Structure 1
């Protein structure tokens, strides 16, 4: 949760007294202009501290000279298209060293894609350079693949081979795919527990994984690794501080990707990723930091965090940040079965209302100028629905979309960090979905460390109003430690929110199967993450029929 005081102090720093005359919309616009200026300053400060782009100054290190395994952080693939998928790795023979053990030298890396796990039928191969400017990460956008096909891939440098990865392409555009199995995960604080959820996910039969944010946390990790103390591993002091610099964020990704279960999940399935707040800083809003630091200083930090995120994820060049800015929202398709509109609800949002504390809806949160997506992303989303020919329109994003009242009073508090704190923004999205005739609308959500299933209502104040779609919130991979099947507020939440059909506080993931007739949702949970090896069970299953929104027990 954000501390008090940071929003008001920043407002005093950013705005002139003339804002009082402009009103809410004027304050919103003035803030955007202010942040544009500071973003440009941050971009200049960030890029001028980097070596020359393209690594022209870096000498090349032959793979034969690398004396220990450089593929310690594993492999990954992502963003499958009908003819393409992104392959990723990052070289780090010394993963907990600032330079990964490769100093400022670039390294030639070979890659190959095959139809079989033994690489007897290789369909494509090539060479890429791992540049020190990008933390020796490699992003290969392999084109010319066959649609709807499973592939295997690997990397090599010198005598070292990476682990084998398995990926797949999407069906051809316009293909009437009959089904899609996906998983949704989020929130994996390393210090809160083991990645048992990822181990089970690696073994599950899904086509693609959506990671909905909080891939890492900026908080300090002590020498024992927090709840991972049972491993007996002693971590270096470099992790026992909050991430602030580019080196800090790169090192933190190395720590997270040192986990064998996370590496296994990436190697088993293509991922589609989007960020929330902790990849940068808790509960930041656009260019507004959690604490009372100058916005231009925070944007330098955001630039570092965004760059490290891209370096460590299977993302295309289109998502490469420019200073503190990156376009992470994007659209993918699975034939005519599903359209995926992946949102970014952090980078463009208005400041949280009421000091980011739970609060009843009021004039500050209900200001019609407030936005969670920003105007450009909102327009892009609604335009995409207007042109969609998909049976299911899926919106993977970060924070709870549906109304979530915290108590039973008439003026119940709601979250100011979720869509409840931006009701006008939510109303515009709902109106856009209705105008576009989106019949089978599915929202996938992370952030809250619990599993929820919601009916999205036309009017959340009227339980009898039309159901417009379904929201499924996955629990966390580890954040919040073990959790409880029925949290202490379970009865209150279920009574206060009649559109909430399920609530479970254990760690886990959601498996979704989309079909032509219906969608099925399985909440997969583990009994514990503070000790390794817990089994996975299905806590509950629901279905919603195509053309007849509304959750029913499976």
Structure 2
């Protein structure tokens, strides 16, 4: 949490410092302070913009010389469109070493997409160059695919062939799919437990997975893997420190993406990813970190984090960051059944009110100038709703959208990091949804390491007010360790928030099925994540009918 009094004047828009400006900004906070940054962070100042493809002067490695499996971080796909999908992998024979064992060398990587798992009917293929500037990651935007069908893909370099991934394209625009199934996941702290939920998710029959943030955590991971308590392996010391530099973040992605359960989930389903705070630093807001550091100093760290994030996720080249800025919010469609407006609630937000401590809303948090999304993203969202003809408008985002009173006191405190600390911003979003005639609003949320189901109310302080939509909060994959079905504050929260229809403190994910008639959410939970292999079960299921917002248990 940021100490009281350390927060800045609320920011009204995105940070726009780019590569050359970072040089100048660094000078403003003094040579001595700048030199205290690690060498890698300082080096980032001249390499914050992703170079053009083919710009590398690195030596080309003969793939036949790769003696160990280079596909140690698996494969992934993402952001399905009706005619294309992004494929991802990284070439790293030694993933826990800087450079992955290929420092300074480029590697040619073949890829192919087929209609069948045996690759009897290959429909697209090609060769990509895994370059050191991109940490030997490969992003292939495969186009010319048929709409609304599954595909299989794999990579090859030298004698090595990756595991086979399964992905799919979205239905064609203008078509009316009869159903869509997806999962929502969030918060996977490696040091808090195993990613068993991902193993179960890999076996689910879903069309796409939405990762709502905290894909990794910046905190140190000790040699035993924290709560995993490894007895059969020792993690390198490079992980036992907080991530700050580009190399730190790259190595941390190597640790996370080498997890077999996470690899299985990525290989089984296309992912749509969005970050929250821990991919960079806890509770940061725009250009402000939790320690009150000079913005120019923090933006160096943010540039490193954003660069490593793009490198390691199945995102298109057009999403690549420029310095500390990265265009992550975006819109996807599933025919006329669903429109997904994926938000970024970190990069453009105003600094948290009242020093980012739990606080009763007041003049500071309710300032109309405060924003969770920034003006441009807010306008983009509301314009998108105005143009939408989808049955369901789904808004994947990061922090609790509905009001969440933390006690039954008349002046109950709320989280200033969630939308309760940005109530004017939330009010504009809901007003925009009503003005656009959005009848079936579903908000997807992560962050809080518990499962919630909320009715979104026109007036959260009046339980009888109109229900405007539904919020489904996915619990964590591992963050918070094992959890319990009914946390100590379970009854308090349900009493203080009549619109809260469900609360469970265990780990897991949410599976959602949309049809033209209804949306069903199944809360899938595990009893433990500190030991591997725990079975999964459905804790509760809710349905909301199209045209009649409000959750009904089933």
Tell me the TM-score normalised to structure 1 length.
0.94
d(CA) in 1 for partners of 2:18 and 2:281? 18
Aligned residue in 2 for 1:398: 398
Aligned Cα root-mean-square deviation (Å): 1.5
Aligned residue in 2 for 1:466: 466
d(CA) in 2 for partners of 1:290 and 1:354? 13
d(CA) in 1 for partners of 2:355 and 2:497? 24
Note if 1:535 corresponds to 2:506.
no
Gaps of 5+ in 1: 12-26
**Residue 3 of structure 1: CA displacement?**
3.6
CA contact (8 A) 1:523 1:541 kept: yes
Note if 1:478 corresponds to 2:508.
no
Aligned residue in 1 for 2:22: 42
d(CA) in 2 for partners of 1:111 and 1:38? 33
Query: Deviations 1:203-243 (Å, cap 9, x if unpaired)?
Result: 01100000000000000000000011145210010000000
Aligned residue in 2 for 1:4: 3
Q: Secondary structure at the match of 2:101?
A: coil
- Spell out the pairing of 1:238-249 with structure 2 (5 A cutoff): 238-249=238-249
Q: Secondary structure at the match of 1:214?
A: coil
CA contact (8 A) 2:286 2:346 kept: yes
**Residue 167 of structure 1: CA displacement?**
0.2
**Residue 10 of structure 1: CA displacement?**
5.5
Aligned residue in 1 for 2:32: none
d(CA) in 1 for partners of 2:19 and 2:462? 42
Q: Secondary structure at the match of 2:98?
A: coil
CA contact (8 A) 1:55 1:132 kept: no
Q: Secondary structure at the match of 1:469?
A: strand
Query: Deviations 1:176-202 (Å, cap 9, x if unpaired)?
Result: 001000000000000000000000000
Aligned residue in 2 for 1:92: 92
Q: Secondary structure at the match of 1:376?
A: helix
d(CA) in 2 for partners of 1:38 and 1:409? 46
Note if 1:442 corresponds to 2:422.
no
CA contact (8 A) 2:394 2:443 kept: yes
> 1:540–1:39: structure 2 CA closer, same or farther, 3 Å change rule?
farther
Aligned residue in 1 for 2:318: 318
- Spell out the pairing of 1:137-216 with structure 2 (5 A cutoff): 137-216=137-216
CA contact (8 A) 1:41 1:296 kept: no
d(CA) in 2 for partners of 1:335 and 1:56? 40
CA contact (8 A) 2:6 2:355 kept: no
d(CA) in 2 for partners of 1:231 and 1:330? 43
**Residue 290 of structure 1: CA displacement?**
1.0
Aligned residue in 2 for 1:303: 303
Aligned residue in 1 for 2:457: 457
**Residue 442 of structure 1: CA displacement?**
0.2
Gaps of 5+ in 2: 25-41
Q: Secondary structure at the match of 1:99?
A: helix
- Spell out the pairing of 1:480-519 with structure 2 (5 A cutoff): 480-519=480-519
Tell me the TM-score normalised to structure 2 length.
0.94
d(CA) in 2 for partners of 1:28 and 1:445? 24
> 1:425–1:269: structure 2 CA closer, same or farther, 3 Å change rule?
same
d(CA) in 1 for partners of 2:232 and 2:65? 32
Aligned residue in 2 for 1:15: none
Query: Deviations 1:299-342 (Å, cap 9, x if unpaired)?
Result: 00000000000000000012100000001000000000000000
Aligned residue in 2 for 1:18: none
Aligned residue in 1 for 2:365: 365
- Spell out the pairing of 1:67-146 with structure 2 (5 A cutoff): 67-146=67-146
Residues paired across the two proteins, number: 534
**Residue 47 of structure 1: CA displacement?**
5.2
**Residue 112 of structure 1: CA displacement?**
0.1
d(CA) in 2 for partners of 1:322 and 1:548? 43
d(CA) in 2 for partners of 1:251 and 1:101? 12
Aligned residue in 1 for 2:29: none
d(CA) in 2 for partners of 1:332 and 1:530? 36
Aligned residue in 1 for 2:34: none
CA contact (8 A) 1:43 1:322 kept: no
> 1:156–1:36: structure 2 CA closer, same or farther, 3 Å change rule?
closer
d(CA) in 2 for partners of 1:190 and 1:534? 16
Aligned residue in 1 for 2:33: none
Q: Secondary structure at the match of 2:229?
A: helix
**Residue 493 of structure 1: CA displacement?**
0.1
